[in-house]
Structure 1
Amino acid sequence: MLDRSVPHTFAGASRRRRLTQAAAIAVTALTAVGLAACSSSTGGSGVSTPAAGATAPGNPTSGTITWWASPITTSGTDPRTVLISAFEKAYPNIKVNLVSAPNDTDTNRATLTTQISGGGGPDVYMGDVIWPAQFGAHQLAVPLSKYLPKSYWDMFAQGLVQGATYKNQVYGAPFFEDQGFLYYRKDLLQKYNLPVPTTWEQLVTDAKKVQAAGAVKDGYVFQGANYEGATCNFMEFLADAGGTVLNSDQTKSTLDSAAADKALAFEQSLVTSGVSPQAESTYQETQSMNAFAAGDALFLRNWDYAYGQSQASGSKVVGKVGVAPMPTFSGQPTPGYSNIGGWNLYINPHSKNIAADVTFIKWMTGNDAQTTLATQFSEIPTNATVRSSADVKKANPVLAIVSETKLVPRPAQTPDYPQVSKAIYTAVNGVLAGSAQPKAAITKASADIDSALGGGL
């Protein structure tokens, strides 16, 4: 993950790779358990959230909470116990019992759906940012915006609340997040007197110049394999081009557009021009990270852990790596968009003390807890004020720029998101592999999305 000189750097990387692979089988898992019924960091929810009008049942300052949370790290001090200890000092009459959830996101989700649909489960649970619609549609999570006012949601970096919303209700409180960053060889840009690119066009120009000089094999490596990561990358290009995937009520695809054609054609051109490798259609996070750490690439798109990996023992680019917000297309406001990963906090509808659960969530997303996550554990805070604080910015190079980035969620505001994502990453992968052309691939993906939204897939 980030350069914090502790072993759990690599646990963060594994956790995020499992996270991006999880979406593809989400609906299968939900169905199998037999249910009765997945920035401009200046604050703001990015969506119109309903005003909270209900009082949460229970006692907001007393009781016991069972918190289901997978390990945030796998070595060193456990952030979960640090946060629990601080919370219990702030609220001495609330006891928090930690249940360590499975590391594997699919197993985690399947276990929760089984427990909650059966009337049990934890009070509060940590879950993927792509779960809100899936869990909300099946009554596996409480609509938090029923109890928390718009002013609460306005404190988060833009894009985060939109991703946690289903049918105009917010189901997940953003806990900590991940996002795409542009990593670059600062030594080579300096050597060839090149700027850090703020546009995709400049990135291509820079890459071709350094490649032509024989300094690197690849100009830009990213994630184009046939899996969720390709959806994440495409969402950044699509948002930069001004496109969307779903209409406002998530009932119809809006993907078949000039913006989507532009986004996918540009991805294709990265490979056909030689800026990106021919094998890009097989690249997940590991392959792109390995190429960059081996000194074979000038630019890398990856998640926040990549800086730490680039500075780890065995890397050939130690001391040579810079990090910047993602680029955008020429003529668009900079920077470009970063796709959102990470974790939310959810409340089980069967909890006996939702008021205490809400207190816990508010504290975990407040300034103290978010500052601890950022400065002690280098997790990206969701709280916009904390993201822009001096203490957080000086923690490491990634956190230094996170408040300058713009966020775009995946189109996960529908319970059919796994099929939506599959349609996207199948299209992207086919084009990168040379078996399809952008416009035809987009048209087919859009039709597949409409079919999924209509219950046809």
Structure 2
Amino acid sequence: MMILKSIWRSLRHSWQSLWQKRLFYGAIALITAVLVFGIHRFVLSQQPVQVSVLMQALERAQWEPLVERFEEENPDIRLEIVEGPNATNLVEDLYTSAFLLGDSIYDLVYMDIVWTPKFAAAGWLDPLDDRVSEEELSEFLEGDVEGGRFEGQLYRMPFRSDAGMLYYRSDLLEENGFEAPDTTEELIEISRALQDQGAVEWGYVWQGRQYEGLAAVFVEILEGHGGFWVDPDTEEVGLDEPEAIAAMEFLVQTIDDGISPRGVTTYQEEEARRFFQNGRTVFMRNWPYVWTLANEDNSPVQGKIAIKPMVHEAGFNPGACQGGWGLALVKDSPHKEEAWRVIEFITSESAQKEFVLNTGYVPSRRSLFNDPEIVEKYSHYPDLLEVQEQSVLRPPIAQYAQASDILQRNISSALTGRVSPQRAMERAAAETRRLLGQS
């Protein structure tokens, strides 16, 4: 019996010892696992949050100094610029496809002003009204801010602006005793006089090809005749009103009277620019980017040009089609706070100033048009501010792309003589009403 008790005590001691060792090593393993997990979580927490945005390849390269500066000032965020094609419509298609497929990889949208209603109506963007005050917004150009709204809410913060304007040969006007024209009648009169003298081959060039640029041209002429395209509040269509028909007649007249070449119906921005820059015409409608190119050392018109708001009918206001790009916050982004910090930085006065000085693009902040450093480099910016303040928006409706296509097709049919200006506008109005569900 004593032997059995001794054996039992020995076995119990061995089991207790083994159990204690297992508990000890188990505790060590558990502690190690907790430490490893904690270190892993700590390391991950120290990794920068990646914020992604897609843009055209050319502008991606122009953003590099801003990206570097942002990441230096915000080491907890990595700003990834995804390189897209150098075509606005293709970039828009890529964003649209990503959102339709769900789980978009983008946290921000770098967007053309005309995308705002489409993207906002689709529910792809997060409203920004709670993130920015009206006082802060007042520092931006009004047209840029309004172009970022849809149905009363703000979805897009302006970064760089754009607006159509009238370029003219200041040397030719001065030599011949003309003031820069304010009205369409004055533009035609001066054009005819200089053409008759042989001073220029043509009077006026613009973008007449069937594409979005044609819609921009028409928006300006329409505003200058006191007309409207689509009222965004009521969805009333004004394309078959007398003012719109008169605007269409003016564009047709420039071609029929030989003020504009018949080939203008094939021109986009660059064709018009080359025509003007080579000294073949006295007036041109185009965007701000032309100024720098037309004043290069090898340009025949260097130092001989000026800008002003577009011509208009007497008694009405000039119109400058509002363009430009800005940043919007993706609704499903898991990094909204970090993405908003990107927006705040990129749209800030200092970032815009750096970008403008490096690229010659137009700022969206009003103060920068008279900034001494910017004016020293781009002397026309104070005049450009006058143009920008005459801005007019294309209709901020969700179906804008389809409405623009309708307008372009019908304008083109009138410009090429297939139908009368009145008939073209009546067709455009009827199609637009059907698009909006009014008939």
Aligned pairs, number: 389
CA distance in 2, matches of 1:112, 1:138: 12
Instruction: Establish whether residue 186 from structure 1 lines up as the match of residue 179 from structure 2.
Output: no
Deviation, 1:234, is 0.5
Instruction: Establish whether residue 69 from structure 1 lines up as the match of residue 55 from structure 2.
Output: yes
What one-letter code is carried by the residue in structure 1 that aligns with 2:350?
D
- Secondary structure of the corresponding residue to residue 129 of structure 2: helix
CA distance in 2, matches of 1:250, 1:314: 51
| Counterpart contact for 2:289–2:361, Cα < 8 Å | no
Structure 1 counterpart of 2:269: 285
Deviation, 1:282, is 2.2
Structure 1 counterpart of 2:344: 362
CA distance in 2, matches of 1:83, 1:247: 38
CA distance in 2, matches of 1:181, 1:447: 30
Q: TM-score, normalised by structure 2?
A: 0.82
What one-letter code is carried by the residue in structure 1 that aligns with 2:53?
W
| Counterpart contact for 2:226–2:316, Cα < 8 Å | no
Out of 204, 212, 220, the residue aligned to residue 196 of structure 2 is 212
Deviation, 1:132, is 1.0
Give the 5 Å matches for 1:55-204: 63-73=49-59, 78-117=61-100, 118-204=102-188
Out of 396, 402, 406, the residue aligned to residue 378 of structure 2 is 396
Structure 2 counterpart of 1:301: 285
| Greater mean alpha carbon deviation, residues 218-227 or residues 277-286 | 277-286
| Counterpart contact for 1:180–1:340, Cα < 8 Å | yes
What one-letter code is carried by the residue in structure 1 that aligns with 2:430?
A
Structure 1 counterpart of 2:227: 243
Deviation, 1:255, is 2.6
| Counterpart contact for 1:373–1:380, Cα < 8 Å | no
Deviation, 1:424, is 1.6
Cα pair distance change 1:120/1:248, threshold 3 Å: closer
- Secondary structure of the corresponding residue to residue 159 of structure 1: helix
| Counterpart contact for 2:168–2:282, Cα < 8 Å | yes
What one-letter code is carried by the residue in structure 2 that aligns with 1:289?
R
| Counterpart contact for 1:378–1:399, Cα < 8 Å | no
Deviation, 1:390, is 3.1
Out of 403, 408, 413, the residue aligned to residue 392 of structure 2 is 408
Deviation, 1:251, is 3.2
Q: Extract unaligned runs of 5+ from structure 1.
A: 1-61
Instruction: Establish whether residue 429 from structure 1 lines up as the match of residue 419 from structure 2.
Output: no
Cα pair distance change 1:98/1:418, threshold 3 Å: closer
- Secondary structure of the corresponding residue to residue 246 of structure 1: coil
Structure 2 counterpart of 1:36: none
CA distance in 1, matches of 2:114, 2:179: 35
Identity %: 28
Cα pair distance change 1:326/1:72, threshold 3 Å: farther
CA distance in 2, matches of 1:391, 1:258: 46
Out of 201, 214, 223, the residue aligned to residue 230 of structure 1 is 214
RMSD of the TM alignment (CA)? 2.3
Q: Extract unaligned runs of 5+ from structure 2.
A: 1-47
Deviation, 1:364, is 1.5
Higher relative contact order (CA 8 A, sep 6+): 1
Deviation, 1:315, is 4.1
| Greater mean alpha carbon deviation, residues 89-98 or residues 217-226 | 89-98
Deviations 1:138-184 (A, max 9, x none): 22222223533333333221222222222222222111122212221
Instruction: Establish whether residue 374 from structure 1 lines up as the match of residue 356 from structure 2.
Output: yes
Structure 1 counterpart of 2:335: 353
Cα pair distance change 1:120/1:227, threshold 3 Å: closer
CA distance in 2, matches of 1:388, 1:239: 27
CA distance in 2, matches of 1:63, 1:151: 30
What one-letter code is carried by the residue in structure 2 that aligns with 1:375?
L
| Counterpart contact for 1:194–1:206, Cα < 8 Å | yes
Cα pair distance change 1:394/1:326, threshold 3 Å: farther
Out of 292, 316, 321, the residue aligned to residue 339 of structure 1 is 321
CA distance in 2, matches of 1:353, 1:455: 41
| Greater mean alpha carbon deviation, residues 360-369 or residues 79-88 | 79-88
Cα pair distance change 1:341/1:268, threshold 3 Å: same
| Counterpart contact for 1:281–1:432, Cα < 8 Å | yes
| Counterpart contact for 2:238–2:244, Cα < 8 Å | no
Deviation, 1:250, is 5.7
CA distance in 2, matches of 1:391, 1:242: 38
Deviation, 1:212, is 0.8
The answer to which structure has the higher helix fraction is 2
Deviations 1:197-254 (A, max 9, x none): 2222222221111111011111000111222111100000111222221123363323
| Counterpart contact for 1:116–1:348, Cα < 8 Å | no
CA distance in 1, matches of 2:380, 2:406: 32
Cα pair distance change 1:96/1:278, threshold 3 Å: closer
- Secondary structure of the corresponding residue to residue 182 of structure 1: strand
Deviations 1:52-102 (A, max 9, x none): xxxxxxxxxx8442233324548xxx4312112333344343332332233
Deviation, 1:105, is 2.2
Structure 2 counterpart of 1:439: 422
Deviation, 1:373, is 1.8
Deviation, 1:397, is 4.2
